[in-house]
Amino acid sequence: MPPPAVGVATIKAESLKLYDNLPGRVSAFRTAEIRPQVSGIILKRFFEEGASVNAGEKLYQIEPTLYEAELASAEAQLAVAEANAYSAHLRAERYKKLSKNSAVSEQELDDSEATAKQTEAQVKAAQAAVRSARINLSYTEITAPISGVIGRSTITEGALVSAQQSTALTIIRQLSPIYVDIQRPASSVLLMRNPALPREVTLSLEDGTSVEKTGELQFSDANVDPGTGTVNVRALFENADHLLLPGMFVRANVPSSLIENALLVPQQAVMRQAGGATTTYVVNSDNVVEVRGVEVTRAIGDKWLVKSGLKTDDRVVISGLQKIKPGVTVTPEETK
């Protein structure tokens, strides 16, 4: 009778990237809380809640009448100050000429020059008041400081708002790109400094659905949470479709280590004995089956990562196990 045929897989060393599956939360790339910088009545809201807005786009209009009047008053005071300065300058120039003929006293000349300088200072103060009034008037138009998706408005037209209020009128969040903050054990953070370790991160949603996005590790906090022993690590993802939203819980596959000459054995080749030991059948160079004790650590797809017990080019039996036992000669058939 010919030797029984069995399927074998040849163990080959390979470079292996290991990943940790860690919890994470999505956070916006930029967040802007919109608050008024002047007080007044909201005349109009210009945006649609939940829509995308661009930086500089008008969001609210505050009643501008009071601020227009303050600007007009400041401009009038500036005109008066400029007129006074012009008059004082002419007087000082005239007294300077007259002093040469002793037509005016030294004190009168000094007083005229001091008055001219005072009026110049008053002009600068009036100019600053005009700038301040103009700025306050511009603040009656509330615009978007960043581009992003705008949330709901906390106030309606006709509401009184204040420059000192703590409640934001609305919030704008930039959603593309977007951050994912990942809690990683502090003991593994040093691995991020390995330049050979990949920096790509993949995600799955809370229900296990894979996200077709690949992000990149950006940085880790310089502080360890004493309660959890973890460090916050941040990854950046493109998010043009707005699939990821701030506050979402996700699972992140984060690079943890790089193993050179790693050995992987198919899971169906490893048998667990009654005492807990793990073994595998190996076909030697004479095509005779040997039983080999093997120690594995973690699952990588449909294989186990081998810690000890196997070496490169060992042939392990993965099918036809019911036909064999140690010492039996077999016909090995390589299985991909």
Contact assessment for residue 144 and residue 44, using Cβ atoms and an 8 Å cutoff: no
First and final C-alpha spacing in the chain:
27
DSSP state of 246: T
Rounded distance, CA 200 to CA 237, Å?
10
74 shares its domain with 103: yes
Q: What pLDDT, on a 0 to 100 scale, did the predictor assign at position 195? A: 72
Give me the long-range contacts of 296-302 (CB less than 8 A, separation at least 24): 296/265, 296/270, 298/18, 299/267, 300/16, 300/18, 300/264, 302/266, 302/267
pLDDT of 1 > 80? The answer is no
221 shares its domain with 326: no
- Residue 282: give the domain boundaries: 5-15+261-334
Work out how many domains the chain is built from and give that number: 4
Residue with tokens 């979402």: 248
In the chain, how long is the greatest CA-to-CA distance?
142
57 shares its domain with 144: yes
Q: Which CATH number characterizes residue 133's domain?
A: 1.10.287
DSSP state of 309: S
189 shares its domain with 305: no
Flag the least confident range among 29-33, 100-104, 246-250, 326-330.
100-104
71 shares its domain with 89: yes
163 shares its domain with 219: no
328 shares its domain with 275: yes
SS3 content of the chain, % helix, strand, coil (to 5): 25, 45, 30
Contact assessment for residue 90 and residue 113, using Cβ atoms and an 8 Å cutoff: no
Last residue of a domain, one of 235, 259, 283: 259
Q: Which CATH number characterizes residue 151's domain?
A: 2.40.50.100
Rounded distance, CA 85 to CA 331, Å?
111
98 shares its domain with 114: yes
313 shares its domain with 330: yes
Q: Which CATH number characterizes residue 208's domain?
A: 2.40.30.170
Flag the least confident range among 29-33, 38-42, 195-199, 320-324.
195-199
Contact assessment for residue 326 and residue 293, using Cβ atoms and an 8 Å cutoff: no
Tokens of 13: 């060393």
- Condensed to tens digits (0 to 9), the pLDDT of residues 291-327 reads 999 999 988 889 999 999 999 999 999 999 888 899 9
Q: What pLDDT, on a 0 to 100 scale, did the predictor assign at position 250? A: 96
- Condensed to tens digits (0 to 9), the pLDDT of residues 169-216 reads 999 999 999 999 999 888 777 666 777 777 899 999 988 889 999 999
- Pairing verdict, β 278-283 and 289-293: antiparallel
289 shares its domain with 244: no
Rounded distance, CA 223 to CA 218, Å?
16
CB atoms within 10 A of CB 106: 9
CB atoms within 10 A of CB 22: 19
Q: What pLDDT, on a 0 to 100 scale, did the predictor assign at position 196? A: 72
96 shares its domain with 149: no
Tally helices (H) and strands (E) across the chain. Answer: 2, 20
Please report the sign of the dihedral spanned by the C-alpha atoms of residue 107, residue 111, residue 113, residue 117. Answer: positive
Q: Which CATH number characterizes residue 324's domain?
A: 2.40.420.20
40 shares its domain with 159: yes
Contact assessment for residue 178 and residue 149, using Cβ atoms and an 8 Å cutoff: no
Contact assessment for residue 186 and residue 220, using Cβ atoms and an 8 Å cutoff: no
Contact assessment for residue 148 and residue 32, using Cβ atoms and an 8 Å cutoff: yes
